[in-house]
């Protein structure tokens, strides 16, 4: 029997497909409006700050802080039920966007994950795309 796998995004979803395509090259990208500088995240085709906007894809350096988190103890999902306890977190990237992800590479998420701790991007590799996760900054 196959091991259950992490649920993955649809690579061809029309608003987010460029974001996911960039992850193939291990690039974490976000959009910013040429006209009004609004940072747009999650990705879209239009600017949410002005109506004239042309959005430009920017590259995040992949550093941020844990804005908040929870350690999940119970999940019925076939993949995640085997991963408990694991940390889900809102990561505030240095460039501004807040991304939902996991904090990994810690001995015990109940002890080693803290609000405001510095984290850096680490890629979990998959066939079509890569998944942006975070680990504590050394």
Contact call for residue 36 and other proteins (CB under 8 A)? no
C-beta of residue 60 within 8 angstroms of C-beta of residue 29: yes
Q: Which of 115, 125, 128, 137 binds other proteins (CB under 8 A)?
A: 115
Query: Which CB sits closer to other proteins, 76 or 138?
Result: 76
Contact call for residue 24 and other proteins (CB under 8 A)? no
In the complex, the smallest distance separating the C-beta of residue 133 from other proteins, rounded to whole angstroms, is 9
Give the total of residues touching other proteins (CB under 8 A): 46
3-state helix, strand and coil shares in percent for the chain, rounded to the nearest 5: 10, 35, 55
Contact call for residue 3 and other proteins (CB under 8 A)? no
Q: Helix, strand or coil for residue 51?
A: coil
Residue 94: enclosing H or E segment and its boundaries?
A: none
Contact call for residue 131 and other proteins (CB under 8 A)? yes
Sheet holding 39-40, edge to edge: 39-40, 29-33, 55-59
In whole angstroms, how far apart are CA 48 and each of 15, 19, 54, 74, 122? 14, 17, 11, 36, 29
Contact string 65-104 vs other proteins (x = CB under 8 A): --xxxxxxxxxxx-xx--x--x-xxx-x---xxxxxxx--
Q: Which chain residues interact with other proteins by CB under 8 A? A: 6-10, 13-16, 19-20, 39, 41-44, 67-77, 79-80, 83, 86, 88-90, 92, 96-102, 110, 115-116, 131
């Amino acid at each position: 029997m196959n091991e259950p796998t992490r649920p993955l995004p649809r690579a061809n979803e029309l608003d987010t497909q460029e974001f996911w395509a960039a992850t193939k090259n291990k690039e974490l990208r976000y959009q910013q409006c040429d006209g009004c500088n609004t940072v747009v995240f999650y990705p879209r085709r239009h600017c949410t700050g002005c109506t004239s906007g042309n959005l430009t894809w920017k590259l995040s350096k992949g550093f941020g802080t844990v804005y908040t988190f929870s350690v999940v103890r119970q999940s019925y999902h076939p993949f995640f039920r085997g991963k408990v306890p694991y940390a889900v977190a809102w990561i505030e990237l240095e460039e501004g966007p807040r991304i939902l992800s996991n904090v990994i590479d810690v001995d015990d998420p109940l002890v080693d994950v803290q609000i405001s701790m510095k984290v850096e991007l680490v890629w979990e590799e998959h066939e079509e795309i890569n998944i942006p996760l975070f680990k504590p900054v050394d």
